[in-house]
C-alpha cells in the first residue's frame, strides 16, 4: 500500500496504542496540535489525554519522565521535536537511560522509545537543522535506528517497542511527505540490519535516513555513465551492521560514505575506519566521504543546499574513487 512516511508513522503509532495498554505517547505539541510534523494528528481524539500527552517545553523533564515510566513497566513513546532540542535531555539519555541496566546489575530495564526529527533542508536555520544522530550512536547502552523509507517508518516502531533497552528513532524531517510502498508485514530484515537498496558492483555508497534518497538519485545518474553504484541503507546506526557493510565493500572494492553529520569525529569516520579495519586488502581506492560542510547549517536556501550532501557531490565522490578507470566512460 502506498502512503507517506508521515502516514506510515501515524499508522504505527495508532497500532501501538491500540495493541498495548502500556504504550503512551508524550512530547511537545503531540496532542492538540497533532505533532510538529503531524505524525500524531488525530491520536488525542482517538486515545484521549492519558495516552497522548502534551508536555511542558522541557526536554530534560519529559525524557526523564519517559525513563521513569519505562522503569515502572510502561512502554512510553517520547517525541522530541528536533535533535537540536534533544541536547537538553542528553543528561537523562547518557547518564540514566543508557546506564541503568548496567548500574543495576541487570535488575532494571528501560524499554523506552524516543522519536525525533533530524536533518536540514527546510530553511529553518542553524538551531533546527542539524544531524546529530551520530552523537547518539556513540553511546553504549542505547540503540539508534534511522528509517529511510515509509516501510521502515511503519515497521521499525513496533520492533523498537519490543526491545528491552532504549531505542532512539531518527526521522529525517525531509522524509515526512515522501510517499513509498508499505508492506503488510515488517519483512525479513531485523531491526538492526542494514539493507541494500540498490545492488551494484563498482562502489558501495553507504547512507542513512535522508541521505539514502540522495544516494539513490546519485546512483541513477552514475548508471547513465556506466557506473553501477550499490546503495547501502544503514537503517541501524547503533549497532552498525558490520557484516553487511563489509560484505558489500569486499564485493565492490570501493566505498563512499554519505553522512549529513559534520565530517570530523562523525559516524562516517567510524564507518570508514571499520572498512579499513575489516576490508583493507579488498580496497581499490581510499574510502571517500560526503558530509555536511563544517558550519552551522545556513538559513538561505542556496547556502543550505550547498552545505548539505547532494546527489551531485555524491556522484563526484564516486567518480573520484573510480577516476579515471570508470568515470571516463571508456570502460567496456
- Is 325 a binding residue for another protein by CB under 8 A? The answer is yes
- Is 302 a binding residue for another protein by CB under 8 A? The answer is no
- Is 286 a binding residue for another protein by CB under 8 A? The answer is yes
Choose between 179 and 284: whose C-beta lies nearer to another protein: 284
Cβ count near 34 (within 10 Å):
18
CA-based angle 205:210:211, to the nearest 5?
A: 20
- Is 118 a binding residue for another protein by CB under 8 A? The answer is no
Torsion of CA 144, 150, 156, 158, to 10 degrees: 140
Active site residue 151: no
Provide the pairing of β-strand 229-233 with 195-198: antiparallel
- Is 308 a binding residue for another protein by CB under 8 A? The answer is yes
- Is 280 a binding residue for another protein by CB under 8 A? The answer is yes
With CB under 8 A as the contact rule, the residue among 187, 190, 300, 324 that binds another protein is: 324
128, 130, 172, 208: the catalytic one is 128
Choose between 244 and 268: whose C-beta lies nearer to another protein: 268
Choose between 153 and 245: whose C-beta lies nearer to another protein: 245
Site for another protein in 238-257 (CB under 8 A): 253
Active site residue 128: yes
Whole-angstrom CA distances from 319 to 176, 188, 225, 231, 248 are 31, 33, 10, 15, 18
**Are 271 and 256 within 8 A, CB to CB?**
no
Torsion of CA 183, 188, 189, 190, to 10 degrees: 110
Written as nine digits, the cell of 40 is: 500524531
**Are 308 and 296 within 8 A, CB to CB?**
no
Least spacing, CB of residue 32 vs another protein, in Å: 39
Least spacing, CB of residue 266 vs another protein, in Å: 11
Least spacing, CB of residue 284 vs another protein, in Å: 4
Measured between alpha carbons, how far is 169 from 174 in angstroms, rounded to an integer? 15
Whole-angstrom CA distances from 33 to 184, 268, 303 are 29, 36, 31
Least spacing, CB of residue 86 vs another protein, in Å: 24
7, 28, 59, 133: the catalytic one is 59
Measured between alpha carbons, how far is 167 from 183 in angstroms, rounded to an integer? 22
- Is 126 a binding residue for another protein by CB under 8 A? The answer is no
Least spacing, CB of residue 268 vs another protein, in Å: 9
Choose between 199 and 313: whose C-beta lies nearer to another protein: 313
- Is 39 a binding residue for another protein by CB under 8 A? The answer is no
Q: Looking at the annotation, which residues are catalytic? A: 59, 128
Q: Which residues bind another protein (CB under 8 A)?
A: 253, 263, 280-286, 288-293, 306-310, 312-314, 316-317, 319-325, 327-328
Amino acid at each position: 500500500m502506498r502512503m507517506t512516511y508521515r502516514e506510515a508513522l501515524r499508522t504505527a503509532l495508532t497500532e501501538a496504542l491500540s495493541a498495548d495498554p502500556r504504550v503512551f505517547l508524550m512530547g511537545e505539541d503531540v496532542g492538540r496540535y497533532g505533532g510538529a510534523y503531524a505524525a500524531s494528528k488525530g491520536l488525542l481524539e482517538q486515545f484521549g489525554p492519558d495516552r497522548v500527552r502534551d508536555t511542558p517545553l522541557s526536554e530534560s523533564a519529559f525524557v526523564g519522565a519517559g525513563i521513569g515510566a519505562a522503569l515502572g513497566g510502561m512502554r512510553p513513546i517520547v517525541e522530541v521535536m528536533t535533535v537540536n532540542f534533544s541536547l537538553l535531555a542528553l543528561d537523562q539519555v547518557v547518564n540514566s537511560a543508557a546506564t541503568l541496566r548496567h548500574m543495576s546489575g541487570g535488575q532494571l530495564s528501560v524499554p523506552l522509545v524516543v522519536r525525533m526529527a533530524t536533518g536540514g533542508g527546510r530553511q529553518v536555520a542553524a538551531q533546527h537543522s542539524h544531524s546529530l544522530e551520530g552523537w547518539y550512536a556513540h553511546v553504549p547502552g542505547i540503540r539508534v535506528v534511522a528509517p529511510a523509507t515509509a516501510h521502515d517508518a511503519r515497521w521499525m516502531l513496533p520492533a523498537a517497542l519490543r526491545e528491552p533497552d532504549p531505542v532512539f528513532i531518527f526521522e529525517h524531517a525531509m522524509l515526512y511527505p515522501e510517499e513509498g510502498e508499505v508492506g503488510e508485514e515488517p519483512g525479513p530484515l531485523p531491526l538492526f540490519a542494514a539493507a541494500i537498496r540498490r545492488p551494484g558492483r563498482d562502489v558501495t555508497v553507504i547512507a542513512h535516513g535522508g541521505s539514502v534518497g540522495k544516494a539513490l538519485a546519485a546512483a541513477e545518474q552514475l548508471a547513465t555513465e556506466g557506473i553501477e553504484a550499490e546503495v547501502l541503507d544503514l537503517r541501524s546506526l547503533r549497532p552498525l551492521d558490520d557484516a553487511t557493510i563489509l560484505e558489500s565493500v569486499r564485493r565492490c572494492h570501493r566505498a563512499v560514505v554519505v553522512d549529513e553529520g559534520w565530517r570530523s569525529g562523525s559516524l562516517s569516520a567510524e564507518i570508514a575506519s571499520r572498512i579499513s579495519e575489516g576490508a583493507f586488502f579488498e580496497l581499490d581506492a581510499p574510502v571517500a566521504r560526503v558530509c555536511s560542510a563544517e558550519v552551522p547549517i545556513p538559513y538561505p536556501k542556496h547556502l543550505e543546499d550547498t552545505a548539505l550532501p547532494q546527489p551531485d557531490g555524491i556522484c563526484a565522490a564516486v567518480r573520484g574513487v573510480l577516476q579515471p578507470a570508470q568515470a571516463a566512460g571508456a570502460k567496456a
